[in-house]
Structure 1
Amino acid sequence: MGLTTKQKVWWAVITVVVLVYALFPVAAIAATSFKIPSELDNGRFLPGTWSLINYEQILVGDAQSLFLSSLRNSIGISLIATAIAAVLATLAAYAIARLDFPGKRLILTTALAVSIFPVISIVTPLFNLWRTIGLYDTWPGLIIPYLSLTLPISIWILTAFFRQIPWELEQAAQVDGATTWQAFRKAIVPLAAPGVFTTALIAFFIAWNDFVYGISLTSTEAARPVPAALAFFTGASQFEEPTGSISAAAVVVTIPVVVLVLLFQRQIVAGLTQGAVKG
């Protein structure tokens, strides 16, 4: 049964309201990034004079070293954390979905508890531990905490996905002489590729957007990611606000996320829906 004209109108109105609510802050930041310093506090949404001065400042100007180094850190740390989370979550989720062993529910419950545990509550002890063992202000010092953010959600998504893959495929591969590892690698992993890919993207977004760990566990440009580096932006002088430069940097670091979502939105939806529907 199709929707009536009235229902279509209501759904269209709801869609527009949600889009405006979600995209208005992004549009405001983008508009601010093109304003000159004298227009930042004039109360107008669009800039009176469109300028690239803020982008020049973060890419070739005074904020270049701070922004580009943090951008490099964010890319490297997020990619490494995502790769490790995807591999570990794939193995853990397969074991939980396929193998019968005591403590399966406890592992999933623990993963859920870790994912909802407030990050700020463990930053101080982690800060002291990292200073003691030499991981403070290093890439590994951020990659390891990022796994606590990315692994739980990755395990949950992939466990649901593996449960939808027919058990008979793996049994058939083993009947043909494949070992458990070969059956997993050659029969299961290719079928699970959409779910693994979706999970990796979600894990990347989580690591890319982290601020608490980035600001608390770094002190120099050696490992500081972009979200934390934005807090250290300054204006061209002590009397100038860095709002324009921060907005320009926010736009630049948002572009990779938007591009990834636009390019792989079908894979993301397919991966999530296949893992959520009981086969």
Structure 2
Amino acid sequence: MTKRLQLADIGSALIVLFCLVPFYWMIVSALRHPADQFATTPFPLPVSFQNLAAAFAERNGFGRALLNSLIVAGTTTLLTLAIGITTAYVIARVEFRFKNVVLAIIVATSMFPGVTLLIPLLKLFVGLDWINTYQALVLPSLSFGLPLTVFNLTAFFKQLPSELEDAAQVDGCSQWQAFRAVILPLAMPGVFTSGIITFIAAWNEFIIALSLTNDQKMRTAPVITALFTGQYKFDQPFGTQMAAGVAVTVPLVIGALLFQRRIVDGLTAGALK
């Protein structure tokens, strides 16, 4: 048993190392002086913040891109939770024909690769004159967040006993009041987990945001980072891109570390009886 635990610890350490080394090298590259960008030393000595300052230069529009990402990810998360919570509750509590088929179709919609949706979305949004708008960035992101939220919360609501709502209604609550005051607070771990995962996915979305925006003021942070140009618009500004990558990634990493217990609880609670 001890040897198995040791092997498991070694395997876990290797996986963590494999995942963290690229992120570590991104931080090191971001803190190097531009003249030392291609140095192979493992530490950026001396430390320089020129790459970070270049990333937030006004001509790059990175600050506005961060705001756009926050608006798109936040709006997507709120809409996903508002629609997904009610949909999951209906599927879990209301008996109707083909309920499992409906749930299967909802989950199946998340299986389509995003790149296959580009041409239909582009044609649709051009016809609606939605290019370079927030709705063109928010609505496609719902195609990932909603199926995940509905699937996760349906399992979560099913494992909550219906007697809780019956008792609340006996005490004078309507069905909506029983859901809002009794069931929803108990389902908050699943709601919280779905919100975090949806926010991260919408924050990192790239291919659709790149295709549906051609105005720099409407582009999101991942798109702006990929389109950074060098001093002469021909060289590749690796240091600036790494600094922007750190600015985009660090908040998500900190949030995931702070709320990792809630995320794990929300993912596993629906499977427990």
Match in the other structure for 1:159: 154
2:38 partner amino acid: D
Match in the other structure for 2:7: 10
- TM (norm. structure 1) is 0.93
Shift of 1:5: 2.6
Provide structure 2 residue ranges, at least 5 long, that are not aligned to the other structure.
Answer: none
The 8 Å contact of residues 108 and 156 in structure 1, kept in 2 or not, is answered as yes
Match in the other structure for 1:131: 126
> Partners in 2 of 1:190 and 1:221 — Cα distance?
41
Does structure 1 residue 182 correspond to structure 2 residue 203? no
The 8 Å contact of residues 34 and 50 in structure 2, kept in 1 or not, is answered as no
The 8 Å contact of residues 138 and 222 in structure 1, kept in 2 or not, is answered as no
Of 154, 166, 169, 1:171 maps to 166
The 8 Å contact of residues 39 and 48 in structure 1, kept in 2 or not, is answered as no
Deviation above 4 Å: which 4+ runs of structure 1?
A: none
Does structure 1 residue 40 correspond to structure 2 residue 40? no
Does structure 1 residue 109 correspond to structure 2 residue 107? no
Does structure 1 residue 257 correspond to structure 2 residue 252? yes
What secondary structure, in the 3-state scheme, does the structure 2 residue paired with 1:222 have? helix
Deviations for 1:31-83, whole angstroms, at most 9, x for unmatched residues?
111122332334444334321110011224643xx211110000011001100
What secondary structure, in the 3-state scheme, does the structure 1 residue paired with 2:187 have? helix
Map 1:20-39 → 2, pairs under 5 A: 20-39=17-36
The 8 Å contact of residues 162 and 192 in structure 1, kept in 2 or not, is answered as yes
Map 1:41-60 → 2, pairs under 5 A: 41-60=38-57
> Partners in 2 of 1:120 and 1:241 — Cα distance?
26
> Partners in 2 of 1:13 and 1:61 — Cα distance?
46
> Partners in 2 of 1:98 and 1:222 — Cα distance?
44
The 8 Å contact of residues 37 and 244 in structure 1, kept in 2 or not, is answered as yes
1:148 partner amino acid: S
Does structure 1 residue 246 correspond to structure 2 residue 241? yes
1:58 partner amino acid: A
Shift of 1:259: 1.8
Match in the other structure for 1:222: 217
Percentage identity across paired residues of the two chains: 37
Provide structure 1 residue ranges, at least 5 long, that are not aligned to the other structure.
Answer: none
Shift of 1:174: 1.6
> Partners in 1 of 2:105 and 2:68 — Cα distance?
30
Counting matched residue pairs gives: 273
Shift of 1:152: 0.6
2:214 partner amino acid: S
Map 1:57-76 → 2, pairs under 5 A: 57-60=54-57, 62-63=59-60, 66-76=61-71
